[in-house]
Chains A and B, each alone.
Chain A
Amino acid sequence: MSETLVASRTPGTDTPVPGASGASRFWRRLRARPSALVAAAVVALLVLVALAAPLLTAVEGQDPTTYHPSLIDSARGGVPLGSFGGIGADHWLGVEPQTGRDLFARLVYGARVSLGVALAATALQVVLGVAIGVGAALGNRWVDQLLSRATDIIVAMPLMVMSLALLAIVPESFPRTVLVTFVIGLIGWGNIAKIVRAQTLTLKGLDYVSAARLSGWGRWRIARRELLPGLAAPVITYAALLVPSNISVEAALSFLGVGVKPPTPSWGQMLTAADVWYQAAPQYLLLPAGALFLTVLALTVLGDGVRTALDPRAASRLRVGTGRRREAKAGETAHSESDKPHKEGNA
């Protein structure tokens, strides 16, 4: 209690700590990490490519769905004609075996799907996770019990398996990309809810929240003004790591043939199809694999950088514990499984 505080007195308590506000400190720290900057540039480029996909393919003069039977050698089982899988001025990265569809177009449209699904799913996970985490932390004993149990269950269920299974029961007529987004979003909010709950409990115990209560403000005003801003850092940190993990999940589902369905292009789908063509048309395999690897890597490095920049202390204090709920009750800081957002992410 009181005594321990004296103990934790740090040198220079009575000299003001120089320093700037949170946002500018964040940028300064982020800029100090060249790897994060490179990753940010790559991510920016990817987003740009995804946004400009129709424009880019128009420049190339192709689209992702038109078949070009004239470009493949049906005698040899559908291998693209020409060198390097048919690379040329018309088809910048060659064409798909068997169908002759333009690979460049499929790749950039695939980026659209990948990033779009991942970002939308992340947004959904964050909204759900924050709502449920805050609800559990601020609700009464029963609300907390109910929401925390639900969170435990959702965390325990393997995301991959659940999304796979859920995709089985929805009618084919439902738009597939939207469905994949919803399934990932609705199942993957568990860890973020845990982090938010723990962090909210910590904040709730801080004296400045008590002081706001003594000022005469109501619950909502306190939640909005004193609690929610404090959640921004951990939520952004975790969300930044959820994006690459969601990209992997989408690609995995499409790879298994239950995610995004043809003719909509998707990297995971291309990989499945490319499996048997690796000798005849290696770029058909290497392009989506490389794109996937690069995207996930860049987003992971960026997420890492964001985490370090937002909270250098927490970054070195990564904790994954099973005593989570107890610790949260004891008012500890949100420890994150941030080193590994929901696991399948990496699957």
Chain B
Amino acid sequence: MSLVDVTDLTVEFGSLRAVDGLSFRLERGAALALVGESGSGKSTVAGALLGLHHGTGARIGGSVHVVGTDVQRASDEELRRLRGGKAAMVFQDPLSSLDPYYAIGDQIAEVHRVHARVSRRAARARAVEVLDRVGIPDARRRSRSRPHEFSGGMRQRALIAMALACAPDLLIADEPTTALDVTVQAQILDLLHTLREETGMGLLLVTHDVGVAAESVDEVLVMRHGKAVEHGPVGTVLGAPAQAYTRELLGAVPRVDAPRGASRATDEVVLEATGLGRAFGRGKQQVVAVDDVALTIRRGETLGIVGESGSGKTTLGRMLVGLLEPTAGRISYEGSAHTGVNPAVQMVFQDPVSSLNPRRSVGESIADPLRARGEARGEVGGEGAEERIRERVRALLERVGLEGAHYDRYPHEFSGGQRQRVGIARALAADPRVIVCDEPVSALDVTTQAQVVALLGELQRELGLALVFVAHDLAVVRQVSDRVAVMRRGRIVESGPADEVYDSPRDPYTRRLLAAVPALDPEVAARRRAARRELAVA
């Protein structure tokens, strides 16, 4: 009998059909990835395998068999035996998924004792054993730590250890690496791979990231709107997709190994930073977020700034636009020193939700720079001026692919991608020479991401803008950048033309970063994994 057998599964929350007639099987020891964009219903499927929707008001149809348990008909007692004992789940956000008040070892021991009749002491020993197994150094001592004393990657290891505690036949991992940095992600994926090789347990991986799937599984099921779009061996689905949507999805995924092509950069320097630094706090608690950074940004070029969380890239971006005062060094705009905000240097923000005031119409938000400028010049806002402003805003809305009639709509009426377009229109309204984009696409689905990136490229060509593209995603940065600066712990460790940095990285950190990026081709992924092992040993 199969490890997992799902037939015609339907899950409805109220009027929303999250999963619609889905069927698949997973054999013992095999690994399957459910891949899809947000709203595709992939996480709902994962929850349904453990009966987690029971009692939440969701209507569930079809049949689900997991490790010999009929989840639909199982009693509470049978469900409890299944959960954690036969099939264990690893969640997305490792910090919130662990109880902040108890030591990690105690939490693992508690779960173990639910499924195994062992003494407290034996359960605790088992906890240390599995923590050691997932690569927590000095596991006995660290098992007494609480979750907040662990780093993000360590916490995810601890969650995996909890899953291992009862030696389940199936591991369900719901976006296990989405909250992690790329180098940590690679470590966790490698860990999952080794554990699977050793224990022979099956793996069901839920992810939005095609690369993560390619790294980890044998089979892929692409989902959209709760339905299966395409299902097959990973090499076939990703290498020769049969369905249009799969092709679209794959086409939108930025490739870290695709060369950038011709640059339209000029020699005219618009923005320059020298010895730039920013420290937060005072005295002993002082943290230096950015340290001695020098940059030049030229008209018509895109400078990519890439780094992991805590590298200082966002702080740097905010200093460039004048939202944060540097504590060291200086910024000059077109050759003369400049402090504070400058209409010619604008920003596109990361979060499409918080970057627009929910209480004002998008048209009003876009009109802000126009009105502020009018006021600064002392223009009295007559009838004509108002009409000119509205006209200009409508033109801007149309330019970024929205409709002029959207002027009076409010942010909640727009999707994330559309809001990001509004943000771009607002930045353009100030007639900027430079736009700093701070993770402009990281909150978007991959297909939307591609559209927004394309829009930025078009605008740059058309208006001769200089773009600073701050992001953690190495592939996106390569896709858009002429030059790249790699940041780590507040400093730029390597910078140069994009193709040079990506194809022949000099700095060991850059090399490690690039080696950690998931590959879309499973064979390449296997080679990379081997290479990472060598890098780790070296």
* A and B directly contacting (CB within 8 A): yes
Taken together as a complex, chains A and B put the C-alpha atoms of A211 and B445 apart, in Å, by: 23
**B354 touching A215, Cβ below 8 Å:** no
A263 within 8 A of B: no
**A14 touching B417, Cβ below 8 Å:** yes
Using CB atoms, name the residue of chain B closest to A3.
B309
**A230 touching B309, Cβ below 8 Å:** no
- Min distance, Cβ A218 to any Cβ of chain B, angstroms: 9
Contact residues of B between 322 and 380, Cβ < 8 Å to A:
322-323, 341, 343, 346-347, 349-351, 354-360, 365, 368-369, 372-373, 376
**B38 touching A13, Cβ below 8 Å:** yes
**A3 touching B180, Cβ below 8 Å:** yes
Output the residue of A1, A10, A211, A214 with the most chain B CB within 10 A: A214
**B442 touching A14, Cβ below 8 Å:** no
B471 within 8 A of A: yes
- Min distance, Cβ B128 to any Cβ of chain A, angstroms: 29
Using CB atoms, name the residue of chain B closest to A221.
B372
B410 within 8 A of A: yes
Which residues of A are found within 8 Å of B376, using beta-carbon distances? Answer: 216
Taken together as a complex, chains A and B put the C-alpha atoms of A2 and B445 apart, in Å, by: 14
Q: Hey, what's the 0/1 contact readout for A253-293 against B, CB within 8 Å counting as 1? A: 00000000000000000000000000000000000000000
Using CB atoms, name the residue of chain B closest to A25.
B412
Find A214's partner among B347, B354, B410 (CB 8 Å cutoff): B347
Find B355's partner among A9, A12, A13, A211 (CB 8 Å cutoff): A211
A27 within 8 A of B: no
Taken together as a complex, chains A and B put the C-alpha atoms of A16 and B92 apart, in Å, by: 25
Which residues of B are found within 8 Å of A217, using beta-carbon distances? Answer: 368, 372
A206 within 8 A of B: yes
**A211 touching B412, Cβ below 8 Å:** no
**B349 touching A13, Cβ below 8 Å:** no
**B414 touching A211, Cβ below 8 Å:** no
- Min distance, Cβ B92 to any Cβ of chain A, angstroms: 6
B78 within 8 A of A: no
B106 within 8 A of A: no
Which residues of A are found within 8 Å of B410, using beta-carbon distances? Answer: 21
- Min distance, Cβ B344 to any Cβ of chain A, angstroms: 11
**A14 touching B448, Cβ below 8 Å:** yes
Which residues of A are found within 8 Å of B360, using beta-carbon distances? Answer: 225
**B359 touching A230, Cβ below 8 Å:** yes
Taken together as a complex, chains A and B put the C-alpha atoms of A284 and B253 apart, in Å, by: 79
Size bin of chain B's contact surface: 35 or more
- Min distance, Cβ B525 to any Cβ of chain A, angstroms: 21
- Min distance, Cβ B16 to any Cβ of chain A, angstroms: 9
Q: Would you call the interface of chain B mostly helix, strand, loop, or mixed?
A: loop
Q: Hey, what's the 0/1 contact readout for B177-208 against A, CB within 8 Å counting as 1? A: 01111000000000000000000000000001
Q: Hey, what's the 0/1 contact readout for A193-225 against B, CB within 8 Å counting as 1? A: 000000000000011101111111100000001
**A207 touching B350, Cβ below 8 Å:** yes
Which residues of A are found within 8 Å of B355, using beta-carbon distances? Answer: 206-208, 211
B381 within 8 A of A: no
Taken together as a complex, chains A and B put the C-alpha atoms of A217 and B372 apart, in Å, by: 6
- Min distance, Cβ A230 to any Cβ of chain B, angstroms: 7
Contact residues of B between 442 and 475, Cβ < 8 Å to A:
442-445, 448, 471-472
Taken together as a complex, chains A and B put the C-alpha atoms of A213 and B342 apart, in Å, by: 10
Which residues of A are found within 8 Å of B248, using beta-carbon distances? Answer: none
Which residues of A are found within 8 Å of B48, using beta-carbon distances? Answer: none
B314 within 8 A of A: yes
**B373 touching A216, Cβ below 8 Å:** yes
**B341 touching A213, Cβ below 8 Å:** yes
**B412 touching A19, Cβ below 8 Å:** yes
**A13 touching B443, Cβ below 8 Å:** yes
Taken together as a complex, chains A and B put the C-alpha atoms of A16 and B38 apart, in Å, by: 13
B8 within 8 A of A: no
Taken together as a complex, chains A and B put the C-alpha atoms of A9 and B376 apart, in Å, by: 39
A168 within 8 A of B: no
Taken together as a complex, chains A and B put the C-alpha atoms of A21 and B351 apart, in Å, by: 21
**A2 touching B439, Cβ below 8 Å:** yes
Q: Hey, what's the 0/1 contact readout for B497-508 against A, CB within 8 Å counting as 1? A: 000000000000
A323 within 8 A of B: no
Using CB atoms, name the residue of chain A closest to B369.
A215
B259 within 8 A of A: no
Which residues of A are found within 8 Å of B472, using beta-carbon distances? Answer: 1-3
Knowing A5-B351, A10-B38, say if A208 contacts B439 (CB, 8 Å). no
A226 within 8 A of B: yes
Contact residues of B between 35 and 85, Cβ < 8 Å to A:
37-39, 41, 43
Which residues of A are found within 8 Å of B341, using beta-carbon distances? Answer: 213-214, 216
Which residues of A are found within 8 Å of B129, using beta-carbon distances? Answer: none
Taken together as a complex, chains A and B put the C-alpha atoms of A327 and B197 apart, in Å, by: 44
Q: List 18 A-B contacts (CB under 8 A).
A: A1-B314, A2-B309, A3-B180, A3-B309, A5-B442, A6-B443, A10-B38, A11-B41, A13-B416, A13-B444, A19-B412, A207-B350, A207-B351, A207-B354, A208-B357, A214-B321, A216-B376, A216-B430
Known contacts A208-B355, A210-B347, then 12 further A-B pairs from the complex at CB < 8 Å, ordered by chain A residue = A13-B38, A13-B416, A14-B38, A14-B39, A14-B444, A22-B358, A210-B323, A214-B321, A214-B322, A214-B343, A215-B343, A215-B429
